[in-house]
Amino acid sequence: MPRDNIEHNIDEKKRNSLYISGDYTVIGICSKCGDYRWNKSISKDGNRVVCPSCGFEWKYKSLPLFVLTGCSGVGKTTTAQALLQRETTYLVMDADYFGFMGEDYQARAEQVLNLSKNLMQSGKPVLWTMAGALEKLDRTYHRRFFRNIHYLALVCDADDLRHRMMVGRAIQDEEWIKRSVEHNAYLMCHDSIEGVGYDRFDITGKSVDEVADYVDSWIREKWNAERES
């Protein structure tokens, strides 16, 4: 399916209320007629943005997007911090950055992709850590700007998870731990969530560096395969 045919489901009223009615980021504004609406399409070769108002086209870099998921407390942030200590060919971001937008996860998803499409004009794709609401990403206007979205879920056995949460992060909230254990159990024995397929890596007993090594190689493998195709 052409990427710009995917329905995005934030209506105009809601966009206005969120102050995201326009695309004020550089790559989304038509430099010829100034149109900044969420109305651009992508050329057939996938490498140019097309303005529907004046027909002007401009080059942009269409890269994949990477999402590191897993239950709360499993170690997404710790892994991301380890990756930031390395020289990487991608940028590392935390989707909780958009926490200021409240619990409107659809709007957050738009902004995750909107920011990413600008960041990746540096030639580097973006890796986001994101606990849930993965299915929102595919239902966005901004989805069309990406070649693919790849998801990797970190999982571990329940005892290891409890240990990571209670000892590693000093979390005592039983309800929080229970929710995480349940979400982790789901990710361990399913291959998709809300229709979104993901890869999985079992980090039971693994060190931070071992997990970071794996995530790094997973990204490079996916990206290399895309560049060759």
Binding site for Zn ion (CB under 5 A): 30, 32-33, 35, 51, 53-54, 56
Pairing relationship of beta strands 48-50 and 57-59 according to DSSP bridges: antiparallel
Least separation, in Å, of the C-beta of 23 and Zn ion?
12
Question: Measured from the CB atom, is 30 or 93 closer to Zn ion?
Answer: 30
**In 3-state terms, what secondary structure has residue 67?**
strand
Least separation, in Å, of the C-beta of 28 and Zn ion?
11
**In 3-state terms, what secondary structure has residue 35?**
coil
Question: Measured from the CB atom, is 57 or 157 closer to Zn ion?
Answer: 57
Are 143 and 222 in contact, with CB atoms under 8 Å apart? no
Q: Which two tokens stand for residue 163?
A: 């240990």
Nearest Cα residue to 148 out of 49, 226, 201, 79: 226
Least separation, in Å, of the C-beta of 163 and Zn ion?
56
Question: Measured from the CB atom, is 35 or 110 closer to Zn ion?
Answer: 35
CA distance 136 to 139: 5
Least separation, in Å, of the C-beta of 48 and Zn ion?
13
Question: Measured from the CB atom, is 51 or 211 closer to Zn ion?
Answer: 51
Which phi and psi (to 5°) does residue 145 adopt? -85, 0
- How many residues are recorded in the chain? 229
Q: Which residue has the tokens 């590392």?
A: 92
Least separation, in Å, of the C-beta of 49 and Zn ion?
10
Question: Measured from the CB atom, is 52 or 99 closer to Zn ion?
Answer: 52
Quick count: other Cβ atoms within 10 Å of Cβ 72?
Answer: 18
